[in-house]
Structure 1
Amino acid sequence: MNERHAAAPPDGGGRTDRGRNETAEERADRQWQELMQEIRVAQTGVQILFGFLLTVAFTPRFQRLSETDTSIYIGTVVAGSLAAGALIGPVSFHRIVSGRRIKPQAVVWAARLTFAGIVLLLVTFTSALLLVLRVATHGVLVPCLVSGVVAWYLLCWFALPLWARERHTDEE
């Protein structure tokens, strides 16, 4: 979320000049609702993956993991925990600042936490995939497969949105 868009100054009539007829408060409310919908999608993915990751340490096969695979597992669990924290953070943030009339700023901080959560989710998915493929295949194609999936994530999650933002955003 771009800060200059989150707290855009209203025109003379108290309405923002962004193609919508809304006040700064209405804009912040709308942005907050949109952000919460986005977070719900990401939270579900990280919570399910994190839950499964937590159970791995209690399986008989875990004891037979190599030191490298155990390190990858620990890094994956930590990244998943950090991702969950970042993606749940906006809810706590909102609850703590609710009623303080700082929703535009809360939207900015919640968007930052969400972005951090998405980056950490990328790390979690990547390391989980690396671990599963290493344990399941022991193959030399593992780095190629993981690199291909990471490239796909980067394309879908970052490159395409950044391209669309650049191509379709009007100059102000």
Structure 2
Amino acid sequence: MNETGEPRHQQLARNVGELLAELRVAQAGVQILFGFLLAVAFTELFRDASGFEKVLYLVTVLFTASATALLTAPAAWHRLLFREGRRTEILRVGNRMVVAGLACLAVAITLTVSLIGKVVFGVAAMVVLAVVVGGIFTLLWFVVPRLLRTRPLE
């Protein structure tokens, strides 16, 4: 039993359920972004894009695909391993995968916004947007939780 009186197996089941519920939220964003990016490659405007824009686009697609793989892995593992009593491993490794997947998603969104800025307004807008959007994700997703972790519980 843990400090709340909950049996370990119940806590693990609840934690896995919470992890999978959190992934549903992230998955929606990844799916929308991936669909948008896949459609872009088949537009007339894309054919006229510069080599740099096409490389940036491909890197963005790769980060989005990586985010998809990382964020869906814990659900696949749960489906394949849950009857084998592997919830502890699913949670331990799955948590790392989710954090890596969120980082890839943040990079993919930042690159997508930056690429749009480059196409619409030029290099200066691309750089400004990369710094602003990347900074927002870094602050909200990674810095604030780290700061909260160091604060004592009230």
Q: Identify whether the pair has TM-score above 0.5, normalized to the shorter chain.
A: yes
Of residues 69, 93, 97 in structure 1, which corresponds to 2:81?
97
Task: Give the C-alpha shift of residue 139 in structure 1.
Answer: 5.0
Amino acid at match of 1:133: G
Deviations 1:46-70 (A, max 9, x none): 1110011001110000011000000
* Structure 1 segment 1-172 matched on structure 2, within 5 A: 15-17=1-3, 20-138=4-122, 140-168=124-152
Q: Distance in 1 between matches of 2:35 and 2:130?
A: 22
**Sequence identity percentage:** 32
Q: Distance in 1 between matches of 2:94 and 2:153?
A: 22
Which structure 1 residue ranges, 5 or more long, are not aligned? 1-14
Amino acid at match of 1:114: V
Deviations 1:80-101 (A, max 9, x none): 0110011111111111112101
Larger gyration radius, structure 1 or structure 2: 1
Task: Give the C-alpha shift of residue 169 in structure 1.
Answer: 5.3
Q: Is the 8 A contact 2:118 2:125 kept in 1?
A: no
Deviations 1:24-79 (A, max 9, x none): 11111111111112111111001110011001110000011000000000000111
Q: Is the 8 A contact 2:117 2:125 kept in 1?
A: no
1:5 is matched with none
Q: Is the 8 A contact 1:25 1:104 kept in 2?
A: no
Higher helix share: 2
Amino acid at match of 2:56: I
Q: Is the 8 A contact 1:42 1:87 kept in 2?
A: yes
Q: Distance in 2 between matches of 1:166 and 1:32?
A: 25
Normalised to the residue count of structure 2, the TM-score between the two structures is 0.94
Q: Distance in 2 between matches of 1:85 and 1:116?
A: 10
Q: Is the 8 A contact 2:34 2:65 kept in 1?
A: yes
The number of residues matched between the two structures is: 154
Runs of 4+ in 1 over 6 A off after TM superposition: none
Amino acid at match of 1:161: P
Which region of structure 1 is more displaced relative to structure 2, 149-158 or 133-142?
A: 133-142
